[in-house]
């Protein structure tokens, strides 16, 4: 014991260096944010403003965005945060189970479906015109993940409701328009309703500069590669584990009395998820929804 204690005292000077080395190793193995993605900044009140330009499809691709479905909910067995195979037009175990629950017609089962429903997001290339919180981002090309509300604004610009409004291709370099991203905090969540397009104009005056911007775009189709998704069996195994099942398929309630809420496992799951997943219907429409649920899962 005396020898060990003496060695501890002798090596105390170098202990800090060794500890620092180990911490560096741990940090280097920690998940890193994808630097290709841009995310708007908000102040302490939850407000934010930036001007971005949605860019056309990158070289070799036909569509300037990709659409991704995923699920994010918590059960007795932990979090289920996975991409849905319905993105690829394939069968997905969660969607199949949700449909089975919904078809029972019971409000209790429909509530469960709402808590573990699919969430929709899109990914596009953008050019950052103005980012006062991070001016170093201005003039650069990034990927941007956004939700249905922003996509609806893109769609509305292409398909205006009134005859005095001209269709706008928001992804066009010459005849598109800058997008003024206005973020407010409404009922605790980020809201993008006040975001709007500016008047149509060329992104830059020089075609050679526009070509340079276009050449900096990131490929989008790799997000839909089959390798980015788990197999049906892998997802099903994870789904059952999250539900706290023993490997057998979950059974939806078929009772005519809607006051008896499904089976005990469903009751337990609903109780465990209702607080966190009540936010899904609101947060799930915003571009930061995936980060929101991922942070919860890591806590």
DSSP state string for 41-60: ---TTS-EEEEEEE--PPTT
Residue among 97, 112, 113, 81 nearest 242 (CA): 81
Q: Which residue has the tokens 């105390």?
A: 12
DSSP state of 46: S
Residue among 45, 27, 94, 51 nearest 195 (CA): 51
Q: pLDDT 10s digit of each residue in the chain, 299 long?
A: 445 556 656 676 666 666 666 565 555 444 567 899 999 999 999 999 999 999 999 999 999 999 999 999 999 999 999 999 999 999 999 999 999 999 999 999 999 999 999 999 999 999 999 999 999 999 999 999 999 999 999 999 999 999 888 999 999 999 999 999 999 999 888 899 999 999 999 999 999 999 999 999 999 999 999 999 999 999 999 999 999 986 666 666 665 444 433 433 434 333 333 333 333 333 344 444 444 444 444 44
In this structure, what is the dihedral angle of CA atoms 98, 101, 103, 106, given to the nearest 10 degrees? -140
Residue among 43, 79, 53 nearest 296 (CA): 79
CA-to-CA dists, residue 153 to 37, 173, 236, angstroms: 21, 18, 35
Which pLDDT score, from 0 to 100, does residue 270 have?
35
Which pLDDT score, from 0 to 100, does residue 257 have?
44
| C-alpha dihedral sign at 271, 185, 67, 299 | negative
As given in the structure block, the two tokens for residue 100 are: 């089975």
What structural domains does the chain harbor?
48-298 (3.90.198.10)
d(CA 221, CA 172): 19
Asked if 46 contacts 183 with a C-beta cutoff of 8 angstroms, the reply is yes
d(CA 211, CA 238): 45
Which pLDDT score, from 0 to 100, does residue 189 have?
86
d(CA 251, CA 249): 6
d(CA 123, CA 143): 7
């Amino acid at each position: 014991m005396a020898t060990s204690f003496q060695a501890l005292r002798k090596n105390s000077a170098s202990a800090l260096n060794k500890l620092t080395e180990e911490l560096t190793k741990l940090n280097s193995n920690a998940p890193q944010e994808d630097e290709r993605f841009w995310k708007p900044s908000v102040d302490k009140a939850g407000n934010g403003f930036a001007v971005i330009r949605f860019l056309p499809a990158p070289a070799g691709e036909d569509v300037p965005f990709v659409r991704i479905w995923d699920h994010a909910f918590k059960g007795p067995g932990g979090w289920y945060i996975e991409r849905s195979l319905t993105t690829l037009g394939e069968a997905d175990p969660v969607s199949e189970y949700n449909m089975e629950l919904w078809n029972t017609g019971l409000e209790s089962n429909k509530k469960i479906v709402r808590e573990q429903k699919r969430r929709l997001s899109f990914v596009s290339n953008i050019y950052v015109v103005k980012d006062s919180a991070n001016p170093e981002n201005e003039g650069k090309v990034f990927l941007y993940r956004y939700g249905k509300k922003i996509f609806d604004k893109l769609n509305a610009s292409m398909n205006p409701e009134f005859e005095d409004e001209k269709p706008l291709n928001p992804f066009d370099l010459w005849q598109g328009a800058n997008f003024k991203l206005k973020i407010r905090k409404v009922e605790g969540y980020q809201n993008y309703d006040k975001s709007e397009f500016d008047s149509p104009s060329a992104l830059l005056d020089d075609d050679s500069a526009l070509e340079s911007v276009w050449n900096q775009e990131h490929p989008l189709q790799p997000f839909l590669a089959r390798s980015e998704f788990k197999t049906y069996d892998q997802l099903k195994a994870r789904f059952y584990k999250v539900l706290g099942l023993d490997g057998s398929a979950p059974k939806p309630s078929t009772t005519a009395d809607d006051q008896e809420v499904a089976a005990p496992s469903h009751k337990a799951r609903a109780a465990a998820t209702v607080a966190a997943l009540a936010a899904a219907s609101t947060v799930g429409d915003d571009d930061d929804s995936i980060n929101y649920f991922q942070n919860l899962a890591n806590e």
